[in-house]
Amino acid sequence: MADAPNPPKKPGWNWWKNFQYDEGQDSPGDARNVLLIVAALIAAVTFQAGVNPPGGVWQDGHYAGRAIYATQKAPFYVFLISNTLALSTAIFIIISLTYKFPFHLEVLVATVSMIVTYGSAVFAVTPDESVQFRYVLTAAALPFIIRFSIQVFKMYKPKCVSYFMNHF
């Protein structure tokens, strides 16, 4: 059997460019749909990981219903903060990409409810002494704070630049 012909390799050809967004070829609607699918998958996986933490929960004794993984404080912190950051970012993307869509209010209510459910489940399975919840709440708010800060900076950037150019 003869070998299948390989595409000619151009100097500097990069296979990764075939998968990147191309304004001339890809429509914004298709890009939005792909982002919604990816964000929904990330939200589903991270939600499940938070509700049912790695290693499960203690079944008996004083710590019944608490995450077994929480006994390893530093690794559990990394897991919990990273997972919460991923979930809140995915939720933020879903809310942003469905803005002004039909049923946007319903999507907003569902995603906010999902975050509240995630938070209550994490608080239920995490021993109070193993996590300081202000770090988890900060991780949950971070994508919203960053986007808000970027928007404020873009709004005031011309004024700030002209101020510094005139005064310094």
Q: Judge contact between 133 and 123, C-beta under 8 A.
A: yes
Residue 97 within any structural domain of the chain: yes
Which one has a higher pLDDT value, 17 or 28? 28
Q: Is residue 89 part of a domain?
A: yes
Q: Which residues contact 148 (CB under 8 A, 6 or more apart)?
A: none
Domain total in the chain: 1
CB 97 within 8 A of CB 39: yes
- Strand blocks (E) in 25-156: none
Q: What is the DSSP letter of 57?
A: B
Which residues fall within 8 angstroms of residue 109, CB to CB, at 6 or more apart? none
* 131-156 pLDDT per residue, tens: 677 888 888 899 999 999 888 888 87
What tens digit of pLDDT does each residue of 71-108 get? Answer: 888 898 899 999 999 999 999 999 999 999 899 999 99
> Has residue 161 been placed in a domain?
yes
In a domain, 64, yes or no: yes
Domain hosting 52: range is 26-165
What percent of the chain shows pLDDT beyond 70? Answer: 87
Long-range contact set of residues 130-135: C-beta below 8 Å, sequence gap at least 24: 130/70, 130/71, 130/73, 130/76, 131/70, 131/76, 131/77, 131/80, 135/77, 135/81
Given this model, what pLDDT does residue 2 score?
A: 55
Helix (H, G, I), strand (E, B) or coil at 83: helix
In the block, residue with structure tokens 């049923």: 103
The pLDDT of residue 125 is: 87
Q: Is residue 8 part of a domain?
A: no
What are the tokens at 30?
Answer: 């298709």
Q: Is residue 114 part of a domain?
A: yes
The percentage of the chain sitting over the pLDDT mark of 90, rounded to a whole number, equals 38
Structure tokens that stand for 158 in this block: 């011309």
* 17 assigned to some structural domain: no
Residue 13 has pLDDT above 80, yes or no: no
What is the value of pTM for the model shown? Answer: 0.77
- Classify residue 132: in a domain, yes or no: yes
The token pair at 39 is: 């964000």
